[in-house]
Amino acid sequence: MKMKQKFAGLAVMLAMGLATTATFAADTIKIGEINHYKRMAAFAGPYKQGIELALDEVNGAGGVLGKPLEFIFRDDQGKPGEAVKIAEELMTRDGAVMLTGTILSHVGLAISSFAGEKKYLYLASEPLADALVWAKGNEYTFRLRSSTHMQASMLAEAAAKTDAKKYATIAPNYAYGKDAVAAFKKALKALKPDVEFVAEQWPGLFKIDAGAEVQAIERAKPDAIYNVTFGGDLAKFVREGTTRGLFEGRQVYGLLTGEPEYLEPLKDEAPEGWTVTGYPWYDFKDGANKTFVDAYQAKYNDTPKIGSLVGYMTVQSIAAGINKAGATDTASLVAAFKGLDVDTPVGKITFRKQDHQATMGAFVGTVAVENGAGRMVDWSYKKGEDYLPSDAEVMKLRPASN
């Protein structure tokens, strides 16, 4: 009898525990965040910190719909198949109301396809490939960061003001690189129809043979170079190109090169004179940008990266979307994200109804070396909406079914 009573007591306690766990789960709104935390730790780490800073602020102000916002962080190892597997687990097992994340575009495209198939909202926070919102866009995918088309168009605008006519390009051989080169060529030719592209180099992602690439570009004798490499590939290209004099007398345009993630590791080897997109956090004197930088530094005793800003804005966007929806079912969230306005450190952005692309802009400036470190100087912020196609163009770019 005592044994039966003991087991009965344990059963009651277990039931109470499960009930408490269920109550706690119901009291949070869960977001599934998928990223390459180990493979790209230097980039995903600051992004996660930006998310956590914003979560502190959102939840400190009462959360969303009266509940705390909770992110479930999962590592996909940079593999599309693993990312899709995790996405399904987050949906079916973990109770996530939507998905977000990824840096690499081919992983983001895989999750986007899955989201479209399963009819589940995915906010692509960092992947830049244009296909995400155009050629392979779908009803359930939205993108936060300014795309390859937008940033390439900003650089093409600067390039069109020079006398250069012969261009060489170098980009990683996957979705992001392909889209970035195509966008730059299209934008520049629209502004200067007489330009010519005399060389296109396509090294494998993180597998660049910098010496061979530099030699190939030099043989083509371009007037200017458009660079899309990043991370370790960028460092190798810059060092080899500098050693061999590739950049002397040539203007170079670098997509993302001015972002702290990529510029800071170069230190005094930073490629002076390049025109780049980036993030000059060190120059903000006041306003929302300065407020964000100060809060980030106070929390982490570290300087923010572009990923930090994107992570922060990801939470801001999700919180705004859920509050606007007034619910967490997919249909309500998708409807809310269409035309959603969000106040961010870079100003108000809008998720466009026609293609689900946000109007987050980018900073464009020139690389200089100051006190042994690479910095962006003479920069300006370009509004994203000024570098996006019209509604009529979007209709041609997106599948009719989407």
195-207 confidence digits (pLDDT tens): 999 999 999 999 9
What residues make up the domain containing 304? 22-146+285-360
Query: Which pLDDT does position 341 carry in this prediction?
Result: 98
Query: How many domains is the chain built from?
Result: 2
Are 294 and 275 found together in one domain?
no
Residue-by-residue DSSP string for 49-75: HHHHHHHHHHHHTT-BTTB-EEEEEEE
What count of other Cβ atoms lies within 10 Å of the Cβ of residue 207? 10
Grade residue 401 by pLDDT with cuts at 50, 70 and 90. low
Query: Which pLDDT does position 24 carry in this prediction?
Result: 40
Are 78 and 175 found together in one domain?
no
Query: Which pLDDT does position 258 carry in this prediction?
Result: 96
pLDDT in tens, 261-289: 999 999 999 999 999 999 999 999 999 99
Are 221 and 73 found together in one domain?
no
Are 128 and 196 found together in one domain?
no
Are 31 and 137 found together in one domain?
yes
pLDDT in tens, 24-62: 445 999 999 999 999 988 889 999 999 999 999 999 999
User: How far apart (Å, rounded) are the C-alpha atoms in residues 72 and 33?
Assistant: 6
Kindly state the percentage of the chain with pLDDT values over 70: 93
Lowest mean pLDDT among 18-32, 129-143, 248-262, 280-294: 18-32
User: How far apart (Å, rounded) are the C-alpha atoms in residues 315 and 71?
Assistant: 9
User: How far apart (Å, rounded) are the C-alpha atoms in residues 248 and 255?
Assistant: 19
Please say whether the beta carbons of 134 and 157 come within 8 A: no
CATH number at residue 80: 3.40.50.2300
Are 232 and 373 found together in one domain?
yes
Residues in a beta bridge with 32: 72, 99
Please say whether the beta carbons of 323 and 351 come within 8 A: no
Q: Is residue 327 part of a domain?
A: yes
Are 322 and 173 found together in one domain?
no
Q: Report, as an integer, the average pLDDT of 249-255.
A: 97
pLDDT at 12 exceeding the cut of 50: no
Are 67 and 111 found together in one domain?
yes
Are 88 and 229 found together in one domain?
no
| Stated pTM of the model | 0.91
Query: Which pLDDT does position 42 carry in this prediction?
Result: 85
Token pair for 293: 């930088």
DSSP assignment letter at 351: B
